């Protein structure tokens, strides 16, 4: 009843009559007109104050909560599939995929589209910057004030105050609190 047959987004009446009462949006938050909001009432969606979701992005909480903090920018063409928690003052550049969902593939007698899905929480802490065309995979945590270089594929946790780049992403710099500099990691 909530989702049309052979579709993956909620019916119009769910988007108009249920979601505004179930989901929370902070003051001065903006969701651009051309954003695809596949948010369902059975999981949470929160958007913090003064945050923005730019055009051509997709937000989907069908398999887990999507929580976005305050003063956070979700750039053009991003895809965010829960369960995902994004902190405050986070910057997402363009065309980033953050997905806590993976399709099963183990049973060769069943197409992956019909197998059980695996879901793992993604956590992105405060003050993080993620460069364009990056992918954040299920189960990853990115620590406070870390930077992910453009085009990176993050498959493992990134500690706070680190810069990670590449495919798979590797830490190349770490902030040194004693010298107040970003030191290369060998």
- The catalytic residue positions are 103
Q: Tell me whether residue 56 is exposed, middle or buried, using C-beta atoms within 10 angstroms of its C-beta: 0 to 12, 13 to 18, 19 or more.
A: middle
3-state class of 69 per DSSP?
A: coil
The encoded tokens of residue 183 equal: 């030191």
Distances (CA, A) of 178 to 89, 122, 159, 175: 25, 30, 17, 9
* Neighbour order of strands in the sheet with 73-74: 30-31, 52-53, 73-74, 91-92, 129-130, 147-148, 162-165, 170-176, 181-184
Residue 111: CB atoms within 10 A of its CB come to 10
Locus of tokens 């695996």:
118
Question: What DSSP string describes 11-22?
Answer: -HHIIIIIHHHH
162-165 vs 170-176, strand pairing mode: antiparallel
């Amino acid at each position: 009843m909530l989702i049309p047959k052979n579709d993956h987004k909620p019916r119009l009446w769910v988007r108009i009559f249920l979601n505004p009462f179930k989901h929370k949006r902070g003051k001065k938050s903006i969701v651009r007109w051309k954003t695809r909001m596949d948010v369902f009432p059975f999981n949470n969606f929160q958007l913090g104050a003064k945050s923005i979701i730019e055009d051509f992005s997709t937000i989907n909480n069908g398999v887990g909560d999507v929580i976005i903090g305050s003063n956070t920018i979700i750039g053009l063409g991003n895809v965010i599939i829960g369960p995902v928690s994004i902190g405050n003052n986070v910057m997402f550049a363009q065309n980033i995929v953050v997905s806590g969902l993976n399709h099963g593939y183990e049973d060769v007698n069943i197409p992956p589209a019909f197998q059980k899905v695996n879901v793992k929480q993604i956590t992105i802490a405060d003050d993080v910057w993620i460069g364009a065309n990056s992918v954040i995979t299920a189960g990853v945590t990115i620590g406070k004030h870390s930077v992910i270089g453009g085009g990176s594929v993050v498959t493992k946790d990134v500690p706070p105050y680190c810069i990670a780049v590449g495919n798979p992403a590797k830490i190349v710099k770490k902030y040194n609190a004693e010298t107040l500099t970003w030191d290369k990691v060998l």
